[in-house]
Amino acid sequence: MIFMNGPAQDEFVIARIKKIMPYGAFCVLEDYPGVEAFVHISEVSPGWVKNIHEYLREGQTAVARVYRLIPEKNQIDLSIKRVSEAEKKRKLESIRRGRRAEKLIELVQRTLKMPDAKKQKTIELLNSSFGDVLAAFEAALEEGEEPLERVGVEKEIAQAISDIAKKSIKKQKAEVEATLSLVCYSPNGLETIKKSLSSITAPPGAECSITFLGSPRYQLKVLASDFKDAEKALDAIVAQI
């Protein structure tokens, strides 16, 4: 169920607290300008809430779940307590990505002097093809304009997205780590271990560092373009020891 121009059942939204009452709080939805909702005091926190002011303040924003819609009353009920930490992080990350994408697509629009209608059409195409607009820029960073043109993005726009992605997005690296227990029983065992560790080389495209944690423990960290490559590099490095 979904309200016209409003959230759907179980959707996660950003709620800004507008007015606090003894029994709950009225909110405005940042995701849907002009749409208001309500959080009952029983939906603020998992425990018993005696004083709602200890948990909420006017002007505060919170990630909330739409847990009930009552169209005949034009009522949207939210829950803050029914949002896990993982769900909260995903929602906030989605917002961050959306804001970043908005700035990048506006840069494309200015570069090409693109009409608003064409920009909106491009946004819809990128969302449907890549999941979100920023994912399209990330794909262009890795593969150039080809994946964009493959889904129907005009060549000129695809080229602009690719160019801006290369200038504006820093490639993220994945990190994996392992704690090693190294023992050598020869008279100069410590020197032997140090020599072995200093001779380690990371596979192409990966970086590694080793930190001494206290005998016999060492921490090995590996950076690579993604987790799969990082794990492969970690295995290759351990095999050298």
Which amino acid does the sequence have at 143? E
Q: What percent of the chain has pLDDT over 90?
A: 64
Q: Are residues 79 and 129 in the same domain?
A: no
The CATH number assigned to the domain holding 66 equals 2.40.50.140
With respect to residue 5, please indicate whether it lies within any of the assigned structural domains: no
Q: What percent of the chain has pLDDT over 70?
A: 98
The label of the residue with tokens 């209608």 reads: 117
Helix, strand, coil percentages for the chain (3-state, nearest 5): 45, 25, 30
Q: Which of 92-106, 115-129, 198-212 has the lowest mean pLDDT?
A: 198-212
What pLDDT, on the 0 to 100 scale, is given for residue 3? 54
What pLDDT, on the 0 to 100 scale, is given for residue 4? 59
Of 25, 58, 83, the residue at which a domain comes to its end is: 83
CB atoms inside a 10 Å sphere around CB 180: 16
With respect to residue 189, please indicate whether it lies within any of the assigned structural domains: yes
Give the residue-averaged pLDDT of 72-100: 93
The CATH number assigned to the domain holding 219 equals 3.30.70.1130
With respect to residue 204, please indicate whether it lies within any of the assigned structural domains: yes
With respect to residue 3, please indicate whether it lies within any of the assigned structural domains: no
What's the CA angle centered on 99, arms 97 and 101, to 5 degrees? 65
| 3-state SS, residue 148 | helix
pTM score of the predicted model: 0.65
**pLDDT above 90 (res 200):** no
Q: Are residues 95 and 57 in the same domain?
A: no
What pLDDT, on the 0 to 100 scale, is given for residue 2? 47
**pLDDT above 50 (res 181):** yes
With respect to residue 104, please indicate whether it lies within any of the assigned structural domains: yes
Q: Which of 34-38, 92-96, 107-111, 189-193 has the lowest mean pLDDT?
A: 189-193
What's the domain count of the chain?
3
Q: Are residues 29 and 45 in the same domain?
A: yes
Q: Give residue 26's domain range.
A: 12-83
